[in-house]
Amino acid sequence: MKLKVIKIGGKLIEDKNILSSLCDALASLGERFVLVHGGGVMGSHLAKELGVEVKMHEGRRITDAATLDIAVMAYAGLANKRVVSALQARGVNACGLSGCDMAVVKSHKREVKDIDWGFVGDVDMVNDEVLALLLDNGITPVVSPITFSAEGDLLNTNADSVASAVAMGLARRYDVELVFAFDKRGVLLDVDDDDSLIETITPELYAELREREKIHSGMIPKIDNAYKTIEAGVGSVRITSHEDFNGGTLVIK
């Protein structure tokens, strides 16, 4: 059975109009999917309202105890339920989950090396049996990136990493395509020109584009991660807009 694991950023959930068009596209997808979402924008807004300083390092959030509480409220709470309710209104029987619900995503607290990330988790295991149980009974899992550890700690985990791990776990059971949806059409030769879309990327083309410095620097880790995911058994990875889950850029072997 074909299955999409779709990751959307918190920025898409924050805007009600974008969320509406996003859920319209998901409802009309015509195939089963698991949705993984972030929520960093909501978390930052809530932190500001509560007077909690947002600490970042190289674009990643440092999660102290106060920030963890905010992340749980924003990601597993408001962001998750906004998406679930919007999907339910469109006839998609969605079930909101965090990683600790039914042990869907187990992580460990990131080791302190050069920097103490606090309550940031790195994924150890995905419970594909539970996700398959939901999917096979017509239920669409909507997963927030709040995970749990063997010690019972809640952990704030990168949503891209959660989506990749979920896709790899489910690839043992389904023909999986991992989709990263954001606010561009896909991988562009020119980030300011939507008509410069690269429709398909192979390892050979990727190497050539990197050598010619035609791939935008922010895309390099995404495509590197895409190939690691494909090597782990996922059929393909798609980088696309939130309005077209079958378009954009297809990353293949």
So what's the pLDDT on residue 232? 95
So what's the pLDDT on residue 219? 83
What are the structure tokens assigned to 197, written together?
């879309």
So what's the pLDDT on residue 9? 87
So what's the pLDDT on residue 213? 86
Q: Where does the chain hold its CATH 3.40.1160.10 domain(s)?
A: 2-182
pTM of the model: 0.94
So what's the pLDDT on residue 201? 96
Whole-angstrom distance, CA of residue 109 vs CA of residue 120: 6
So what's the pLDDT on residue 184? 87
What string of pLDDT tens digits covers the 253 residues of the chain? 999 999 998 888 988 999 999 999 999 999 999 999 998 888 888 989 999 988 888 778 899 999 999 999 999 999 999 999 999 999 999 999 999 999 999 999 999 988 899 999 999 999 999 999 999 999 999 999 999 999 999 999 999 999 999 999 999 999 999 999 988 899 998 888 889 999 999 999 999 999 988 886 678 888 998 999 999 999 999 999 988 999 999 999 8
Query: Would you tell me how many other CB atoms lie within 10 Å of the CB of residue 93?
Result: 12
So what's the pLDDT on residue 215? 83
* Listed residue (143, 160, 129, 144) closest to 228, CA to CA: 160
Asked if 35 and 4 touch (Cβ cutoff 8 Å), the reply is no
Whole-angstrom distance, CA of residue 180 vs CA of residue 190: 19
So what's the pLDDT on residue 114? 86
Domain 2-182 has CATH 3.40.220.10: no
3-state helix, strand, coil in the chain (%, to 5): 40, 25, 30
Whole-angstrom distance, CA of residue 202 vs CA of residue 53: 42
Whole-angstrom distance, CA of residue 32 vs CA of residue 24: 15
Alpha-carbon torsion (227, 61, 79, 182), positive or negative:
negative
Edge-to-edge strands, sheet with 200-201: 94-97, 140-143, 33-37, 2-8, 175-182, 236-241, 249-251, 200-201
* Listed residue (59, 78, 56) closest to 67, CA to CA: 56
